[in-house]
Amino acid sequence: MKKAARAIIVLAFLVRPGLSAVPSQESATPGSLPFSFQEFRLRNGLRVILSEDPRLPLVTVAVGYSAGTLREKPEQEGLAFLLENLMFQGSENIGPLQHIAFVQKVGGELNAVTSPDKALFYETLPSNQLALALWLESDRMKSLVITPAAIERTRTDLIKEHGDRVMSDPDLETFSQFDLLLFPDWLYGHPLIGPGIANLVEADIAEFHRTYYVPNNAVLCIVGNIDIAKTRELVARYFDSIPPGPDSPFPSRPVFRRENDAVVRFSLLPAGSAGFHMGFRFFPLQPGDASSLRILEYVLLEGETSRLRSRVLRRDLTARYLTGALDERPSIATLKIFCLTTNADLVSRSEKGILAEIDKLRANAVSQDELTKARRRFVTDYFNRLSTNLGKARFLVDAVFAGKGLDTLGGELADVLSVSPQALVAFSRRYFIPQNRVVLEFGPR
Amino acid sequence: MRRQAPRQRTAWSAVRWTLAAGIVALGLAVPAGAQERFRRTPPLPDAQRLELKLPPVETFVLANGLTVATARRPESSVVTLQLVIRAGEADSPPDRPGLAAMTARMIGKGTKMLSADYIEDMIESIGAEISVAVFMDYTVLTINVLDEFLDRAIYILRLITIEAEFNERELGAIRRTAFWELYEKKKDPEVLGWRQLLSVLFEGHPYRIATYSEDVIKFITPRDVATFYNRFYRPANAAVLVSGNIDGPAVAQKVGSHFGAWSGLPSDRTAPPPPSPNDRERVCYVEVPDSPAATVFAGNVIMGSSGPDFFPFLVLKQILGGTTRSRLFMNLRESKGYAIYAFSEMEVFGSCGVYWVRALVRPEFLVPAMREIAGEIGALAAGPSIPSEIEEAKSYLVGSLPMRFESPAGFADWMARYVALGLDKGQWDRGPEEVKLVNAERVRETARKFLSARPVVVIVGRPEWLGAYLGELDAIEVYDTAGQLKQTFRKGEGR
């Protein structure tokens, strides 16, 4: 072991990997973000973002691949998720599950997540172990080992875990069903794991990996207590010699048609209690709409005095739980509301209460006080989100996959804070219409 | 030993040809089919590990006995303001479980002059919200706020704390919310297992009060809340903590000017003495229909956090089941295939703590899994740990510690615990040094001291698994999801 270690040190002096990195682009530090970053590309197309934060002896390494569920074809539901899990099953120099072991051994934490637009892998570990994280991530980018045994074992585990989750939380299945209604196209509506996963063959998986798990389809983001120059050398050392894959244009964005509202009254889905999902689709979005939507989310749903929570949980007392969130995807955004209550009558009354509040947004301007409250809360959450290395890394990677220019990120907060009451009324009138509304009720009648 | 899946190269060889072709096309230095030598082994860490440096906690005590503690984090845009009350779940009267939590949630729900709606609007108008956390020995109310609104937040905190008033309308709303929260929690086998474990380990002890279910809170009245408040919400029993980009002395002065008029004698609270550890075989079974797998808890009472055994026990807990490389996971999942996961945890309260094993077990392997868990605990108590295991556990603990302090919320949680439990500096910024000092002998002594007693075992699973898989156990106490004993099965009796 000592011999091997010495060899690495010697190699580090003989080969200056940083010299082979060719930055194709370097952005100026964006002024209005609460942190700075640098961006460049390696010759193989890997996009690299570095951000220095010396507060604590920690570093987060995040690698995102444009390999989310949007890349799946019909009958392949679950392929992206399966491959995310196979990324922990070993590569040329790292045994099955050893990636986790290496990170945990030094006190690090790691995880991965598959969303429609990407598969994201990340680890946070002591900053003197940055090279370890890059070694691990580069090895599985370069030489993932996909074996029939690993496929079968991983697939079986995923199907069983999914079944167990559905069994222990009967409301869970309603979320998948709601997405199918809200996004009436297969590409956006299909679930993370579906029946197609059982039929996937090794060739499908290898093809998916070969096409999408390549440097020119990925973003590497490193945030933490790093020395930028040394980090660039390390990045070049571990990633520069990984060959690029084929170009993979982003899947064409679906075109939605506006039809009648889709209301499913008391589906036969098994559920633990009575409740409903209500959603609104927003498309095609105009410039400035995203900012209006973010403020509206806070006016409607964030905080005990927000309109919808106040209405159904405090004033009408028709619900026992209410939550909601924005789901923004290329070419469409949605607002999802989830409400639990106790019986069919209260479901109906809660829906009416929510719709009445939304109608008010169409009729009257939000007061300056209410707008100020929403803005301040948004700012607090914004800074909280960016308070950790991982928060910053995800913010940057999310922006890349959303197709945003990183140089525009600094202006986003100002855009949200400049939304006017008139803009909110205009937005509400344009989008909060029955044809954009989807409701799925569930539970005992 | 970990089971190594055989490395099959079928798919890899195809990929490698593609990669090799790509490399040649690029004209890079790596020959086709070969790999750079540096990829073969993990790189060494940077020679010098950066040390964790936490900002000092400056503490002041006002004339009325209120503690004010500040910590400056210049990089933070959000300031965390907290009120700590040195009374928690264990201080609820025996006939009023949940009273500590209900009282804490009533803070901000009205004063002599202001309604709950008005107060909520005041708080949210500065972009903040109040969150409440009730622990065994203390309670924390937290407000996260942008630094420009800190003065206003301190004013609001004073108002809702000192002038709190409790009415039936607001208490009714909180009872409803708390009822549904507790009702939903009962769907989680881990919550049920943890609750049952505490209930057995702390039988006849004040800490048992924390194991209440949703049905008991309906008896709590505004008068109960007022009585609890008057007894414990007193300046000498409280602390106000502020962390963020602040000027500590100036902020402490502001807190003093707002809270200086808060009056009240010191509270008569003392931390309850620790109970004796369990030392008899005891298996509890909580019946939950439709459980996909069996959740197993096994644990016992240990020391608190202020004694010399705390850091050695941290290392011990890590060796037993801290990560997927630890003994429990490697044995129960990787080697035997009995469990989906198996980890160990610990929690420390005012005067004692609890360690426990938490495992998700395939029901048909319940009995052998329990044997293995007992075997792993027993092995640590009886014999020495391998030096490399100790070093790895220490490396994990030292490496992971900074993550706890990264977010404003994580930092504030730690600071609240430090102040509320009156911990020494070892718990604040000397943790890594304390961990590094732990040696094999200290681990062995601590294991002998705390792991020799027989742990209580709690299983959460389907009713039918009792007869199908647990027939060979001598005795099993069977409980419902509310924690009520239904019956005790003995070996040889029908199940």
Q: What 3-state DSSP class applies to B454?
A: coil
Q: A211 with A347, same domain?
A: no
Residue of B nearest to A2 (CA): B44
CB-CB under 8 Å, B49 with A168 = no
Quick one: which of A259, A5, A221, A15 has its CA closest to A122? A221
**What confidence tens digit (pLDDT) does each residue in A9-21 have?**
222 322 333 333 3
End-to-end CA distance of chain B: 37
Taking CB atoms and an 8 Å cutoff, what residues of chain A touch B26?
43-44, 243-244
- Asked if residue A371 lies in contact with residue A295, where contact means CB atoms within 8 angstroms, the answer is yes
Contact at CB, A8 and B44, closer than 8 angstroms? yes
Chain segment B57-88, per-residue pLDDT in tens: 999 999 999 999 999 999 888 999 999 999 99
The beta strands (E) that lie in B365-491 are given as 456-461, 475-479, 485-490
pLDDT of B30 reads 46
**Residue B269 distance to chain A (closest CA, Å):** 34
CB contact under 8 A, A101 and B392: no
A193 and A83 within one domain: yes
Task: Evaluate whether residue A128 is within a structural domain.
Answer: yes
The verdict on residue A104 lying in a domain is: yes
Q: How confident is the model at residue A6 (pLDDT cuts 50, 70, 90)?
A: very low
Chain B: closest CA distance from residue A278 (Å) = 21
Q: What is the mean pLDDT of the segment spanning B430-449?
A: 92
B115 and A CB contact within 8 Å = no
Residues A226 and A271 in one domain: no
Instruction: Verify that A230 and A267 share a domain, yes or no.
Output: no
Asked whether residue A204 is domain-assigned, the answer is: yes
String of b and e for A79-115 (b: at least 16 CB within 10 Å)? bbbbbbbbbbbbbbbbbbbbbbbbbbbbbbbbebebb
Judged by CB atoms closer than 8 Å, whether chains meet at B45 and A237 is answered as no
B318 is written with which tokens?
Answer: 């890590």
User: Does one domain contain both A229 and A267?
Assistant: no
For residues A217 and A326, state if they share a domain. Answer: no
Task: Tell me the CA distances in angstroms from A311 to A172, A314, A432, A442, one per residue in order.
Answer: 25, 6, 18, 21
pLDDT of residue B35: 75
**Is A95 near chain B, with CB under 8 Å?**
yes
Other beta carbons less than 10 A from residue A177's beta carbon: 17
pLDDT value of residue B27:
35
Q: Could you tell me which residues are beta bridge partners of residue B243?
A: B71, B80
3-state secondary structure of B65: coil
CA distance A106 to A103: 6
Tell me the per-residue pLDDT of B113-162, one tens digit each, with 9 for 90 and over.
999 999 999 999 999 999 999 999 999 999 999 999 999 999 999 999 99
The mean of the pLDDT values for chain B is 89
ipTM, 2 dp: 0.87
Chain A contact for B15, CB < 8 A? yes
pLDDT in tens, B11-60: 223 333 333 333 333 333 444 456 788 999 999 998 776 788 899 999 99
- B180–A320 CB contact, under 8 Å: yes
User: Among A129-133, A234-238, B4-8, B453-457, whose mean pLDDT is lowest?
Assistant: B4-8
Q: How many CB pairs below 8 Å do chains A and B form together?
A: 237
Q: A173 and A284: one domain?
A: no
CATH code where residue A394 lies: 3.30.830.10
Cβ distance of A387 and B408 shorter than 8 Å: yes
CA separation for the pair A70, A80 (Å, rounded) = 9
Per-residue DSSP letter, B134: E
CA B347 – CA B152 distance, rounded (Å): 35
The C-alpha atoms of residue B153 and residue B158 are separated, in whole angstroms, by: 9
Say if the Cβ atoms of A58 and B39 lie within 8 Å.
Answer: no
CB–CB contact A90 B396 (8 Å)? no
Whether chain B has a CB inside 8 Å of the CB on A163: the answer is yes
Cβ atoms of residues B394 and A375 within 8 Å: no
Phi/psi class of residue B165: alpha, beta or left (left: φ > 0; alpha: ψ in -120 to 50)? beta
**What pLDDT does B34 receive?**
67
> Looking at residue A270, what is its pLDDT?
66
Inter-chain residue contact A132 with B323, CB threshold 8 Å: no
Q: Answer whether residue A210 is part of any domain.
A: yes
Q: How far apart (Å, rounded) are the C-alpha atoms in residues A381 and B127?
A: 9
Which residue from A minimizes the CA distance to B179?
A320
Q: What is the predicted pLDDT for the residue at B49?
A: 67
Please report residues of B whose CB lies closer than 8 A to that of A45.
none
Please give the distance of CA A212 from its chain centroid, rounded to a whole number. 17
Residues A294 and A204 in one domain: no
DSSP letters spanning A363-407 = HSPPPHHHHHHHHHHHHHHHHHHTTSHHHHHHHHHHHHHTT--GG
Q: Please tell me whether residues A235 and A276 are part of one structural domain.
A: no
Place of tokens 């601590």: B446
pLDDT for the residue A345: 92
Domains in chain B (CATH in brackets) are: 58-259 (3.30.830.10), 283-411+420-490 (3.30.830.10)
Distance CA B49, CA B444 (A): 28
Smallest Cα distance from B5 to chain A, Å: 7
- The reply to whether residue B398 touches residue A107, judged by beta carbons under 8 angstroms, is yes
Report CB contact under 8 Å: A380, B50: no
State phi, psi for B251 to the nearest 5 degrees: -65, -40
Q: Are residues A411 and A270 in the same domain?
A: yes
d(CA B23, CA B11): 19
pLDDT digits (tens, 9 = 90+) for B184-196: 888 899 999 999 9
Do the domain assignments include residue A225?
Answer: yes
In a domain, A34, yes or no: yes
Say whether A241 and B30 touch across the interface (CB within 8 A): yes
Note whether residue A1 is domain-resident.
no
The pLDDT, as a whole number, for residue B290 is 82
Long-range contact pairs involving B175-179 (C-beta distance under 8 Å, separation at least 24): B175/B102, B175/B217, B175/B218, B175/B220, B176/A317, B176/A320, B177/A320, B178/B98, B178/B101, B178/B102, B178/B105, B178/B214, B178/B217, B179/B214, B179/B217, B179/B218
Interface test with B, best of A105, A169, A235 (most B CBs within 10 A): A105
Question: Could you read off the pLDDT of A163-211 as tens digits, one per residue?
Answer: 888 887 778 888 988 998 898 788 888 889 988 899 999 999 999 999 9
CB contact under 8 A, A126 and B16: no
Q: What percent of chain A has pLDDT over 70?
A: 91
Kindly determine whether residue B44 and residue A5, on different chains, have CB atoms separated by under 8 Å. Answer: yes
Residues 6+ apart with CB under 8 A from A54: A225
Q: Say if A177 falls within a structural domain.
A: yes
**Tens digits of residue pLDDT in B367-421:** 999 999 999 999 998 877 788 999 999 999 999 999 999 999 999 999 999 999 9
DSSP secondary structure, A26-90, as one string: -PPPPSSSSS--EEEE-TT--EEEEEE--SSSEEEEEEEES-SGGGPPTT-TTHHHHHHHHTTS-
> Average pLDDT of A36-49?
97
pLDDT band, residue A256 (cuts 50/70/90): confident
Interface of A with B in 250-279 (CB under 8 A): 272
Q: Above 60 in pLDDT, residue A23?
A: no
Instruction: Give CA separation, B6 vs A147, A161, A197, A205, B242, in Å.
Output: 9, 24, 23, 19, 55
Domain extent at residue A82 = 22-239
Q: Is B39's Cβ below 8 Å from some Cβ in A? A: yes
Q: What distance in Å separates the CA atoms of residue B189 and residue B172, rounded to the nearest whole number?
A: 28
pLDDT, residue B9, reads 28
Of A89-93, A97-101, A250-254, B64-68, the one with minimum mean pLDDT is: A250-254
pLDDT given for residue B427 in this prediction: 82
Distance from CA of B460 to the nearest CA of A (A): 13
Instruction: Looking at the complex, report in whole angstroms how far the Cα of residue B408 sits from the nearest Cα belonging to chain A.
Output: 7
Number of domains in chain A: 2
Tell me how close the Cα of A411 comes to any Cα of chain B, in angstroms. Answer: 18
Specify whether A272 is located in the same domain as A332: yes
In a shared domain, residues A178 and A298? no
Looking at the partner chain, which of A128, A153, A320 has a beta carbon nearest the beta carbon of B46? A128
Taking alpha carbons only, the member of A295, A284, A300, A282 closest to residue A414 is: A295
pLDDT digit string (tens) for B324-382? 989 999 999 999 999 999 999 999 998 899 999 999 999 999 999 999 999 999 999 88
Beta bridge partners of A17: none
**Residue A231 · residue A23 · CB < 8 Å:** no
Judge whether A159 and A260 are in contact, CB under 8 Å.
no
CA gyration radius, chain A: 24
A404 vs A412: CA distance, rounded Å: 10
Determine the longest span between alpha carbons in chain B, in angstroms: 82
- If one counts every other C-beta atom within 10 angstroms of the C-beta of residue A178, the result is 24
pLDDT at A32: 78
Q: Which positions in chain A touch B400 (Cβ < 8 Å)?
A: 107-109
pLDDT > 90 fraction of chain B, expressed in percent and rounded: 73
Question: Residue B434 corresponds to which tokens in the numbers above?
Answer: 């304390």
For residue B236, give how far its alpha carbon lies from the nearest alpha carbon of chain A (Å).
31
> Based on the number of CB atoms within 10 Å of its own CB, is B463 exposed (0-12), middle (13-18) or buried (19 or more)?
middle
Residues in CB range of B40: below 8 A, 6 or more apart: A4, A93
